[in-house]
């Protein structure tokens, strides 16, 4: 593959200057047009050591308006990053819509280097590459433009470049023993990089291989490629969602085709007052001890509450938080996104609250809004919410891979019980604020929500993150069921 | 002082339950009303070890709706916090308007503990306390409600409490050798805490001293105090800004009274093309080396660009960034705040971009918007922008105390030069986007802006963060002046 980037291509100084003069205003124009769109642009700068990746980025920043460009280099993990799933640091660095984010090495560096030094096997590498493919597809389907550069040098050219950098006192710092250590493994690096590139060279996010021997050729290629990508993307702007094929099969038949999962929830389960009191104390005591142990061991927990309106999410959450030290948990209540959240992929607002080691995050409604309210209300298109099931599985797998205990509850009540509770709320002075016209409107869409919930459970109840369907017609039963489930999951983890 | 909290006050179980029953719905009501306001509520929980601070917060969280409460305990600094000024971690934890943030120990712990263990002197303690007073005043004047609890135990009560906690296997973890080490210094802790409390017990942010021997009394006092504070604040909601006295003297006489600072800028300075080219290369080379040294040494830089519309800020910024590695700087362009930014104090959006060790943040417009555009356009009231000068000095002092190089430029052009540039922009196709109706409107307010700039320079040019007024009628001269100033400041720092 890399032979195509060892052809000795060069650009004369004069040609370079002429071409740059034409390129710059066009790049600025494209960048200016980009600002008015909802397209985030992610430029990945990868390749061999000494290929001048830093120089290219400096050059691009010189040609562009640096105010709309965010450059991120991923050095050693900070402890705040270390305590969260691997991709947390990449989510942090994603540019908002209308802006350009340049990332060095990015999500590719780790998998390649670990495989070169045999810390992992081919299968692990492939798994990491699969994750990259999903991640990038998700971004592109959300409207992002990905431009991925791989800057290449032949072995001989790399040797020369490193020697040359070493000689100049101004650039000597760029060559450390690590670069030479990498250089000794040139062929191995090349083979594994090639595997990575092939695996991730998708139609949605193709690689651009750039010969980096001549700096002028290299910079010009990068600039022109970026310009072309921007222009193309700007032209197809409105249709981006439409041209992206959905990788999912068509939706399953409607609920009339079968008895649904929800129909199997035995909502008649209840507890009497005495049982409840006794078990509540018991469960809370247990949760208190378990959450302290998780804290000490630095193991995090994420709890998701979904359910019908008035199903008792708030009350259940309070029974849980009462047992956990207030310093260790945070309840995130999901309402309308802020404008910063709206300027990113819909999962971004959830990633930002992923807890540090030992902490607990409780989501009162969650990313499942994408396949529930957004689906039913039409805020997300069918391809969008269909693929969201898979994106969510992927997201949750990353949490679980990091060792986070993820517990998901659907609080299920009957249609009649909801009506009873709505009416009660309307009649109780200090509960009136809990019931709005929107609740009544949602209620009218009960069947559509039921379809959505059934699909959701069918598609996102995984071995690592199963759904717990909670019979919640009786609040007491529901709360105990929830507390004991959380305890079980923590016990299994610790 | 603490005798007042050693009176053995108690609440019987029955009294407690009756009172809590009345308190809870009222607290929830107040919290619900709070949501609709723009008041952020900050509850500080401080006091002696073993007083049950954690228990109080758990109790408050149980009484309140935990979804609107964010509890933060400040443990050891993460490395991301370590690399920034001390208050960065507190700014991160400030609640947005309409919500409650509970902070443990907070900004008080460090100064008190350092003084107890004689790491610093009384003068340092007082300086730290002064900073706290300014910080809290700033928050309150911005509309925040501060409720500060100090939970007290007598020496004997503390000994008993620690022993008791140690005996119970469920609470043993709360008592480490550190608690006993602190206990041995009970009187010293008491004396220094008293000094801290007295120093920071201001009308705007008074302390509430709570006797913590009886947990029921303690929790009830905390709950009732919080309720009362919320109710009072909600009642005076609209008038909060008005009742807060401005600590600043009245504004200085208008510009007609004297020749202004801006009039002293010699805008006739220019450079010819050859001089410019030579000096540009020289300065950029120097800046490149210096910024690399700063990176290696972990010293950060903040550069502020302010100036008249069309004064050449963008061009000057690009000449600077061209000399710095793209991985090491970020340009923050200040336009309208996002809604998350609007939900906080106006300085919050600048604090969030304070660079990590070794990095450079360039602000294209900055916190000075408060005393420039917001003053002239009336977005900030006179007391608000008047006191902003002092708040800004305080902010900048914190940056400099942390060892950050802070460089501030005002790019000055004449009224006629601005007109010329506006017209030129209108006539040059690829510059047209740079000129809007708003620019022409601003231009009509030239004199009002001039007053504001003069006041700004007079009030915020400090020994640690002086303004550099840049004659910018000639862009070439301005750029070199800016580059060489940054180099000088970096050289002085390194």
- pLDDT of B114 strictly over 90: yes
Q: What proportion of chain B, given as a percentage, has pLDDT over 90?
A: 77
- pLDDT of B251 strictly over 70: no
Query: Cβ contacts of residue A70 below 8 Å, gap of 6+?
Result: A93, A95, A99, A100, A101, A102, B330
Of B54, B326, B340, the CB nearest to A58: B326
Q: What proportion of chain A, given as a percentage, has pLDDT over 70?
A: 95
Q: How far is CA B104 from the centre of its chain?
A: 18
Q: How many angstroms separate the CA of residue A9 from the nearest CA in chain B?
A: 26
Domains B2-243 and B255-493 share a fold: yes
Half-sphere exposure of B494 (CA within 13 A, CB side): 21
Q: What proportion of chain A, given as a percentage, has pLDDT over 90?
A: 78
Strand, coil or helix: what is A445? coil
Q: At what angle do helices B313-321 and A53-63 cross, to 10 degrees?
A: 170
**Cβ atoms of A470 and A481 closer than 8 Å:** yes
Indicate the helix (H) or strand (E) that contains B361.
strand B360-364
Instruction: Find the closest chain A residue to B67 by CA distance.
Output: A331
Q: Helix and strand tally (H, E) in chain B?
A: 21, 10
Rounded mean pLDDT of A468-477?
Answer: 96
Q: What is the pLDDT of residues B463-494, one digit of tens each?
A: 999 999 999 999 999 999 999 999 999 999 98
Report the predicted TM-score, pTM, of the whole model to 2 decimal places: 0.88
The token duo for A71 is 């450059």
Beginning with the edge strand found earlier in the chain, give each strand of the sheet holding A405-412 in spatial order: A329-333, A360-364, A301-307, A405-412, A467-471
Question: What CA–CA distance (Å, rounded) separates A264 from A260?
Answer: 7
Instruction: Find the closest chain A residue to B330 by CA distance.
Output: A70
- pLDDT of A218 strictly over 60: yes
Cβ neighbours around B402 below 10 Å, total:
18
Q: What is the pLDDT of residues B37-59, one digit of tens each?
A: 999 999 999 999 889 898 999 99
Whose CA is closest to A154, among A229, A48, A255, A21?
Answer: A48
Look at A217-226, B108-117, B143-152, B433-442 and tell me which has the smallest mean pLDDT.
Answer: B433-442
- pLDDT of A154 strictly over 50: yes
Question: What CA–CA distance (Å, rounded) separates A432 from A375?
Answer: 28
* CB–CB contact B314 A67 (8 Å): yes
Q: How far is CA A426 from the centre of its chain?
A: 40
Of A67, A330, A339, the CB nearest to B364: A67
* CB–CB contact B67 A333 (8 Å): yes
Of A70, A322, A430, the CB nearest to B29: A430
**Cβ atoms of A170 and A249 closer than 8 Å:** no
- From the candidates A22, A65, A67, which should be mutated to test the interface with B, based on the most B CB atoms within 10 A? A67
What pLDDT does residue B241 have? 45
The token duo for B15 is 């009294």
Q: How many angstroms separate the CA of residue A27 from the nearest CA in chain B?
A: 11
Q: What is the pLDDT of residues A394-440, one digit of tens each?
A: 999 999 999 999 999 999 999 999 999 999 988 877 677 778 888 99
**Cβ atoms of B221 and B212 closer than 8 Å:** no
- Using 50, 70 and 90 to split pLDDT, how confident is the model at B242? very low
Query: C-alpha angle B473/B474/B476, rounded to 5°?
Result: 145
* CB–CB contact A54 B326 (8 Å): yes
B71 CB neighbours in chain A (<8 A) are 326-327, 329-330
A67 CB neighbours in chain B (<8 A) are 314, 317, 331-333, 364
B326 CB neighbours in chain A (<8 A) are 54, 57-58, 60-61, 71, 102
Rounded mean pLDDT of A96-114?
Answer: 93
Q: How many angstroms separate the CA of residue B194 from the nearest CA in chain A?
A: 26
Question: What CA–CA distance (Å, rounded) separates A89 from A109?
Answer: 13
* CB–CB contact B317 A104 (8 Å): no
* CB–CB contact A29 B430 (8 Å): yes
Question: What CA–CA distance (Å, rounded) separates B135 from B129?
Answer: 10
* CB–CB contact A173 B79 (8 Å): no
* CB–CB contact A321 B73 (8 Å): no
Pairing outcome for strands A41-47 and A100-104 = parallel
- pLDDT of B343 strictly over 50: yes
Instruction: Find the closest chain A residue to B296 by CA distance.
Output: A173
What pLDDT does residue A258 have? 58
User: Mind giving me the DSSP string for A195-233?
Assistant: HHHHHH--SSS-EEEEE-SSHHHHHHHHHHHHHHHHHHH
- pLDDT of B289 strictly over 80: yes
> In the CATH scheme, what is the code of domain B255-493?
3.40.50.300
Instruction: Find the closest chain A residue to B24 by CA distance.
Output: A430
* CB–CB contact B58 A326 (8 Å): yes
- pLDDT of A245 strictly over 50: no
B340 CB neighbours in chain A (<8 A) are 338-340
A70 CB neighbours in chain B (<8 A) are 330
- Using 50, 70 and 90 to split pLDDT, how confident is the model at B427? confident
Q: What share of chain A is helix, strand, coil (3-state, %, to 5)?
A: 60, 10, 30
Query: Residue B366 — φ and ψ, nearest 5°?
Result: -160, -160
B89 CB neighbours in chain A (<8 A) are none
What pLDDT does residue B248 have? 47
Indicate the helix (H) or strand (E) that contains B281.
helix B273-297
Q: How far is CA A69 from the centre of its chain?
A: 21
Strand, coil or helix: what is B424? helix
The token duo for B43 is 């509850």
**Cβ atoms of B77 and B18 closer than 8 Å:** no
Is the confidence metric ipTM above 0.95 for this complex? no
Instruction: Find the closest chain A residue to B434 by CA distance.
Output: A32
Rounded mean pLDDT of A73-79?
Answer: 88
**Cβ atoms of A474 and A273 closer than 8 Å:** no
Query: C-alpha angle B415/B417/B418, rounded to 5°?
Result: 65
Q: What is the pLDDT of residues B370-403, one digit of tens each?
A: 999 999 999 999 999 999 999 999 999 999 999 9
Cβ neighbours around B291 below 10 Å, total:
25
Rounded mean pLDDT of B212-237?
Answer: 94
- pLDDT of A140 strictly over 50: yes
What pLDDT does residue A238 have? 54
- Using 50, 70 and 90 to split pLDDT, how confident is the model at A299? very high
Which of the two residues, B84 and B174, has the higher pLDDT score? B84
The token duo for A256 is 């009339």
Of A60, A69, A326, the CB nearest to B57: A326
**Cβ atoms of B359 and B329 closer than 8 Å:** yes
**Cβ atoms of A483 and A283 closer than 8 Å:** yes
Look at B65-79, B98-112, B374-388 and tell me which has the smallest mean pLDDT.
Answer: B65-79
- C-alpha distances (whole Å) from A370 to each of A388, A438, B209 are 7, 18, 48
Which of the two residues, B226 and A237, has the higher pLDDT score? B226
Q: What is the mean pLDDT of chain B?
A: 91
- C-alpha distances (whole Å) from B270 to each of A31, B211, B307, B447, B476 are 32, 70, 18, 25, 7
User: What does the DSSP 8-state code read for residue B78?
Assistant: P
- From the candidates B34, B59, B65, B66, which should be mutated to test the interface with A, based on the most A CB atoms within 10 A? B66
Instruction: Find the closest chain A residue to B334 by CA distance.
Output: A67
What pLDDT does residue A450 have? 94
* CB–CB contact A433 B318 (8 Å): no
Look at A48-52, B30-34, B373-377 and tell me which has the smallest mean pLDDT.
Answer: A48-52
Strand, coil or helix: what is A36? coil
- C-alpha distances (whole Å) from A156 to each of B36, B194, B324, B394 are 67, 71, 29, 56
- C-alpha distances (whole Å) from B388 to each of A185, B200, B395 are 58, 21, 10
Cβ neighbours around B481 below 10 Å, total:
23
Q: Please return the burial class of B296, using the count of CB atoms within 10 Å of its CB with bins 0-12, 13-18 and 19+.
A: exposed
* CB–CB contact A66 B296 (8 Å): no
What pLDDT does residue A436 have? 85
E strands in A48-187 = 69-73, 100-104, 145-152
What pLDDT does residue B238 have? 54
Q: What is the pLDDT of residues B293-336, one digit of tens each?
A: 999 999 999 999 999 999 999 999 999 999 998 889 999 999 88
Rounded mean pLDDT of B349-366?
Answer: 95
- State the CATH architecture for A2-243: 3-Layer(aba) Sandwich (3.40)
Q: Which residue has the tokens 């004689």?
A: B118
- pLDDT of B244 strictly over 60: no
Q: What is the pLDDT of residues A170-216, one digit of tens each?
A: 788 888 888 899 999 999 999 999 999 999 998 899 999 999 999 99
E strands in A48-202 = 69-73, 100-104, 145-152
**Cβ atoms of B442 and B337 closer than 8 Å:** no
Instruction: Find the closest chain A residue to B320 by CA distance.
Output: A62
Size of interface A-B (CB pairs under 8 A): 108
Instruction: Find the closest chain B residue to A62 by CA distance.
Output: B322
Question: What CA–CA distance (Å, rounded) separates B422 from B445?
Answer: 15
Does the domain made of A256-493 have the CATH classification 3.40.50.300? yes
What are the extents of the domains in chain A? 2-243, 256-493
Rounded mean pLDDT of A94-115?
Answer: 94
Query: Residue A232 — φ and ψ, nearest 5°?
Result: -60, -45
Q: What is the pLDDT of residues A364-389, one digit of tens each?
A: 999 999 999 999 999 999 999 999 99
- pLDDT of A255 strictly over 70: no
Question: What CA–CA distance (Å, rounded) separates B327 from A56?
Answer: 11
Q: What is the mean pLDDT of chain A?
A: 91
Query: Residue A207 — φ and ψ, nearest 5°?
Result: -90, 150
Rounded mean pLDDT of A293-310?
Answer: 96
Of A25, A296, A331, the CB nearest to B67: A331
Q: What is the pLDDT of residues B453-464, one digit of tens each?
A: 999 999 999 999
- Using 50, 70 and 90 to split pLDDT, how confident is the model at A102? very high
* CB–CB contact B338 A333 (8 Å): no
């Amino acid at each position: 593959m890399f032979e195509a980037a060892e052809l000795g291509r060069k650009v004369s100084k004069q040609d370079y200057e002429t071409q740059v003069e034409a390129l710059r205003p066009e790049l600025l124009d494209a960048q200016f047009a980009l600002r008015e769109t909802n397209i985030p642009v992610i430029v990945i700068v990868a390749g061999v050591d000494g290929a001048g990746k830093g120089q290219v980025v400096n050059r691009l920043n010189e040609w562009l308006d640096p105010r709309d460009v965010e450059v991120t280099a991923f050095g050693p993990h900070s402890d705040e990053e270390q305590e969260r799933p691997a991709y947390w640091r990449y989510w942090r660095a994603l540019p908002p819509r209308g802006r350009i984010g340049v990332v060095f090495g990015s999500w590719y560096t780790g998998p390649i280097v670990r495989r070169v030094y045999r810390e992992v096997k081919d299968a692990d590498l492939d798994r990491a590459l699969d994750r990259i493919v999903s991640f990038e597809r998700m971004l592109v389907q959300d409207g992002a433009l990905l431009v991925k550069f791989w800057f290449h040098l032949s072995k001989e050219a790399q040797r020369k470049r490193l020697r040359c950098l070493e000689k100049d006192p101004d650039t000597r710092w760029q060559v450390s023993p690590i670069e030479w250590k990498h250089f000794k493994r040139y062929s191995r690096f090349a083979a594994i990089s090639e595997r990575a590139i092939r695996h991730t060279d998708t139609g949605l996010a193709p690689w651009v291989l750039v010969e980096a021997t001549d700096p002028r050729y290299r910079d010009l290629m990068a600039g022109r490629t970026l310009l072309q990508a921007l222009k193309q993307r700007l032209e197809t702007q409105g249709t981006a969602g439409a041209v992206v094929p959905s990788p999912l099969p068509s939706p399953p038949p409607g609920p009339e085709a079968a008895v649904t999962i929800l129909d199997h929830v035995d909502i008649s389960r209840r507890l009497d007052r005495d049982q409840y009191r006794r078990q509540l104390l018991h469960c809370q005591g247990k949760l208190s001890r378990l959450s302290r142990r998780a804290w000490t061991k630095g193991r995090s927990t994420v709890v998701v509450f979904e359910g019908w309106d008035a199903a008792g999410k708030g009350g259940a959450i309070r029974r849980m938080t009462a047992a956990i030290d207030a310093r260790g948990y945070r309840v995130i209540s999901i309402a309308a996104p802020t404008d910063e959240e709206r300027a990113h992929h819909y999962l971004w607002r959830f990633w930002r609250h992923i807890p540090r080691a030992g902490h607990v995050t409780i989501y009162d409604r969650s990313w499942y809004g994408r396949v529930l309210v957004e689906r039913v209300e039409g805020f997300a298109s069918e391809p969008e919410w269909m693929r969201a099931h898979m994106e969510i599985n992927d997201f949750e797998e990353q949490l679980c891979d990091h060792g986070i205990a993820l517990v998901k509850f659907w609080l299920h009540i009957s249609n009649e019980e909801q009506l009873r509770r709505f009416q009660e709320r309307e009649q109780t002075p200090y509960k009136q604020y809990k019931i709005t016209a929107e609740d009544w409107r949602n209620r009218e869409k009960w069947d559509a929500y039921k379809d959505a919930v059934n699909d959701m459970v069918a598609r996102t109840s995984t071995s690592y993150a199963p759904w717990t369907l909670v019979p919640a017609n009786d609040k007491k039963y529901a709360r105990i069921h929830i507390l004991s489930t959380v305890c079980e999951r923590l016990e299994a983890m610790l």
